[in-house]
Amino acid sequence: MKIINSPFHFKGGIHPQYHKDLGDREAIRELPLPAKLTVPMSMHLGAPAKPVVKVGDIVKAGQLIAEAGGFISAPVHAPAAGRVKSIDQTVTAPGRSCQAIVIETSPEQEWELMPPIPDWGSADPKTLLERIGAAGVVGMGGAGFPTKVKLSPPPNKPIDTIILNGAECEPYLTGDNRMMVEHADHIAVGAQIMRRILGAEKLRVAIEDNKPDAIEAMAKAFEGVDGDVAVVRLHTVYPQGSEKHQIYAVTGREVPRGGLPMDAGCVVENVSTVYAIYDAVVNGRPLTRRVIEVTGEGVAHPANLMAPFGVSYAEMIEACGGYVGKPAKLISGGPMMGFAQANGDIPCGKTTGGILVLPPREVSNFTSQACISCGRCVDACPMRLIPSELSQLIEAEDIDGAANISLMDCVECGCCAWVCPAHRPLVQHFRRGKAIVNAKRAAERAKQQEAAKK
């Protein structure tokens, strides 16, 4: 198995402090089963899942409790055996509200698994794909895009390269690193299942060079795997884990504006997702849990926990010894792109990458100033935009003007705001601007459809 250095380097990006040493040596441990799980129906991109159980039903672990709500959607399975206590509304990490099935867990845990497919190497790719869909596997890197959809590109978009995203470029986060170190063999199997489905010829594992253990483990796991397989050692630079930038670093291809990775002949999957693919196919286990690291200087004992979906952030932090002093910020995900939470009463889900607690000294509290045109954001932007100009246009409510000069290309990575000496809330401006543009476009589409009906 060869290890190659990434042949291409994207322009821009930043070098934040990583703080990975808090949790990157902590072996993954199982979270003791909580008494209650609040399982959200929206743990993925697309339509929310539709509950198929009633209040009072007794469910087994792994049993289907909600079916996919559309083509771009995913089913949800019971993370633990117990009784359906209620079907309620809950708030999820990005701040949206959705339905949730509340399960009171029982002391005896009985699993209901799907039949394993041990001969995946010779199985029909369609069967494998159906299984991945039925197991509720979605992209666990953050976006939660249903994996079945991602693995079914239209025939006019041939895929020649599969990239396993093990960059984990967000500071603090260590879960993917631990998965690669501890489950390299299983991830390798998952990767081969993906290759069988897509028929792609190249398989690449992209890992930043600040994770030598993971690089070594993955290289070893792929030894003896036939075909064009390699671990790509990436430079440690944020946002190396961004799909578009990773594709560029590995293949030198740029995903066209407004396009998807498949437009560049690639499929990128996070390593935890690839593990879930393995688990679904080889063990018949649906996606009901994941590794979530609880980390940050505000947590007593940072740890990487294998946790069932539906456990609250507060319980996760409690399992790690609780807060140290008074926390300043509780973040779902990493410090660059994560969502700040007002309290710990939020359920973990398929896209919960990590729980980060920052003490006051790690939180910058500031007043923003006028842009001094220093151009640091321009140098830092990995999409090569002009963040300063965009933010000034949005401030002046010229949203169309901003959209005309590439507002919609922003990936919200936060590099611009991180470098800004005037502490301008650049990402906030862009999110607002993008939301307005999207709403406008949706309204126009609806109008056109209305007109078409008449």
Partner 1 sequence: MNPEVNPNLLMVSSSPHAHSGASVRRIMLDVLIALTPAFSAACWFFRLNALRLTATCVLTCLATEWVCRKLMKRENSLGDLSAAVTGVLLAFNLPPELPTWMAVAGSVFAIAIAKQVFGGLGYNPFNPALAGRVFMLISFTGAMTTWSRANWSYKLAAAAQDAATAATSAAGGLADALTTATPLGMAKAVLKSGQAIPGFQPSLFTDFFFGANLNGCVGETCSIALLAGAVYLLARKVISWHIPVAYLATVFVYAWVLKICCPGSALPPMAHLLSGGLFLGAFFMATDMVTSPITKKGMLVFGIGCGVITMLIRTSKTGAYPEGVSFAILIMNSLTPLINRATRNRVFGAKKA
Residues 230-249 that bind partner 1 (CB under 8 A): 244-245, 248
Phi, psi of 180 (to 5 degrees): -70, -40
Interaction of residue 367 with partner 1, rule CB under 8 A: yes
State the nearest-atom distance from the C-beta of 328 to partner 1, in Å.
6
198 is an interface residue for partner 1 by CB under 8 A = no
Smaller CB distance to partner 1: residue 114 or 363?
Answer: 363
Nearer to partner 1 (CB atom), residue 146 or residue 327: 327
Restricting to residues 415-434, which ones interact with partner 1 according to CB under 8 A? 417-423, 425, 427-428, 431
Per-residue binding string, partner 1, 378-407, x by CB under 8 A, is xx--xxxxx-xx---------------xx-
User: Are the C-beta atoms of residues 113 and 62 closer than 8 Å to each other?
Assistant: yes
Single out the residue of 13, 16, 175, 354 in contact with partner 1 (rule: CB under 8 A): 16
User: CB-hemisphere CA count at 13 Å for 104?
Assistant: 8
By the 10 Å C-beta count (0-12 exposed, 13-18 middle, 19+ buried), 248 is classed as buried
- How many residues in the shown chain lie near partner 1 by CB under 8 A? 69
Q: How far apart are CA 324 and CA 371, in angstroms?
A: 37
CA atoms within 13 A on the CB side of 26: 23
Looking at 14-22, 99-107, 229-237, 272-280, which segment touches partner 1 (CB under 8 A)? 14-22
Task: For residues 396 and 347, give the distance between their C-alpha atoms in angstroms, rounded to a whole number.
Answer: 38
Site string for partner 1, 17-46 (x = CB under 8 A): x-----------------------------
Q: Could you say whether residue 364 binds partner 1 (CB under 8 A)?
A: yes
Site for partner 1 in 155-194 (CB under 8 A): 171
Residue 245 dihedral angles phi and psi, to the nearest 5°: -75, -30
The single residue listed with the structure tokens 């459809």 is 449
Residue 297 binding partner 1, by CB under 8 A: no
Nearest CB to partner 1, comparing residues 96 and 126? 96
Q: How far is the CB of 219 from partner 1 (least distance, A)?
A: 30
Do residues 165 and 242 touch, judged by C-beta distance below 8 A?
no
Q: How many CB atoms lie within 10 A of CB 292?
A: 27
Q: What are the φ and ψ backbone dihedral angles of 55, each rounded to 5 degrees?
A: -60, 130
**Binding test (CB under 8 A) with partner 1, winner from 209, 329, 359, 437:** 329
Minimum distance, C-beta of residue 110 to partner 1, in the bound complex (Å): 38
Cα distance between residue 41 and residue 50, in whole Å: 7
Among the listed ranges 27-35, 138-146, 182-190, 322-330, the one in contact with partner 1 (CB under 8 A) is 322-330
Nearer residue to partner 1 within complex by CB, 121 or 256: 256
According to CB under 8 A, which one of 255, 282, 303, 393 is a site residue for partner 1?
255
Closest CB to partner 1 among 230 and 340? 340
Non-local (6+) Cβ contacts of 433 within 8 A are 390, 394, 399, 402, 403, 407
Buried b or exposed e, range 418-450, using 16+ CB within 10 angstroms: bbbebebebbebbeebbebbeeeeeeeeeeeee
Least separation, in Å, of the C-beta of 394 and partner 1? 13
* Intra-chain end-to-end CA distance of the chain, in Å: 61
- In whole angstroms, what separates CA 416 from the centre of its chain? 21
Q: How far apart are alpha carbons 388 and 43 in whole angstroms?
A: 34
Binding residues for partner 1, rule: CB under 8 A, are 10-11, 14, 16-17, 171, 244-245, 248, 254-257, 259, 327-331, 335-343, 356, 358, 362-367, 369-376, 378-379, 382-386, 388-389, 405-406, 409, 412, 414, 417-423, 425, 427-428, 431
